[in-house]
């Protein structure tokens, strides 16, 4: 066990970890907000909007994330659209996970009995207020477990950005591997850092589940 090697290269690993966290924050925000848009469109009363959203979901979840990143990073420049590797990675992960998270939100909303909406409307709430005050709070509580899964998947998927040379954690570990032959120490350390980040987010979600429990009606 070559601990000295890891300690000597700690700054590089920490920079990589910071970049991984930055990618994850960008993709988590993009996907949780984009998921809201997808769910809203999927449940629209206007058929064309539903079709567009359904098409988006199917394309996004039926193609690999790596291919999507390549399309944005290598494909779009031929159309004159240029973006950094970081932006490409965050955007691709936001788009794909918008599809997954949109379906999670939608599942939560359709699981709330229509009587809840009726009761809110009968009290004089407008449809938007009924959604915000009565339906969404119940739906989000129900989907915290699958939402947590998806958020953790996003964090781990940030490693894919190493393929377009974003200097994140996995990329850093590959650099270290080139410098010396300490693969065991390097990848074990990297795995532990991913574990720490993911477990932190999982812990926050557990806390949220405890604070906002699902109650029977």
Binding site for another protein (CB under 8 A): 115-116, 118-127, 129, 133-134, 137-138, 141, 212, 215-217
- CB 211 → another protein: shortest distance, Å? 12
Look at residue 63 and give its three-state secondary structure.
Answer: coil
Which C-beta is closer to another protein: that of 51 or that of 212? 212
CB-CB contact of 193 with 172 (8 Å): no
- CB 46 → another protein: shortest distance, Å? 16
- CB 180 → another protein: shortest distance, Å? 55
- What lies within 8 Å, CB to CB, of 143 at 6+ separation is 104, 105, 107, 108
Handedness of CA 92, 97, 100, 106 (dihedral sign): negative
Which C-beta is closer to another protein: that of 74 or that of 212? 212
- CB 68 → another protein: shortest distance, Å? 36
CB-CB contact of 13 with 169 (8 Å): yes
- CB 130 → another protein: shortest distance, Å? 9
Which C-beta is closer to another protein: that of 1 or that of 45? 45
Pairwise CA distance, residues 155 & 169, whole Å = 11
Which C-beta is closer to another protein: that of 79 or that of 216? 216
Instruction: State how far the alpha carbon of 211 is from the alpha carbons of 97, 101, 127, 204, 215, in Å.
Output: 25, 21, 27, 10, 12
Which C-beta is closer to another protein: that of 37 or that of 121? 121
């Amino acid at each position: 066990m070559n601990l000295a090697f890891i300690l000597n290269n700690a700054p590089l690993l920490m920079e990589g970890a910071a970049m991984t966290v930055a990618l994850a924050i960008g993709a988590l925000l993009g996907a949780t907000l984009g998921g809201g848009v997808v769910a809203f469109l999927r449940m629209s009363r206007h058929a064309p909007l539903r079709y567009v959203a359904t098409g988006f979901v199917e394309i996004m979840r039926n193609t690999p994330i790596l291919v999507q990143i390549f399309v944005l990073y290598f494909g779009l420049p031929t159309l004159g659209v240029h973006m950094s590797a970081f932006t490409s990675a965050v955007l691709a992960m936001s788009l794909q996970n918008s599809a997954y998270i949109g379906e999670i939100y939608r599942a939560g909303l359709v699981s709330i009995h229509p009587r809840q909406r009726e009761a809110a409307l009968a009290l004089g709430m407008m449809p938007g207020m009924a959604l915000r005050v009565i339906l969404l709070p119940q739906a989000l509580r129900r989907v915290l477990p699958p939402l947590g899964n998806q958020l953790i998947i996003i964090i781990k998927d940030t490693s894919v950005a190493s393929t377009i040379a974003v200097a994140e954690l996995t990329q850093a570990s590959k650099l270290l591997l080139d410098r010396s032959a300490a693969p065991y120490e390097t990848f074990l350390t990297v795995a532990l850092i991913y574990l720490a980040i993911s477990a932190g987010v999982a812990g926050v979600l557990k806390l949220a589940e405890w604070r906002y429990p699902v109650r029977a009606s």
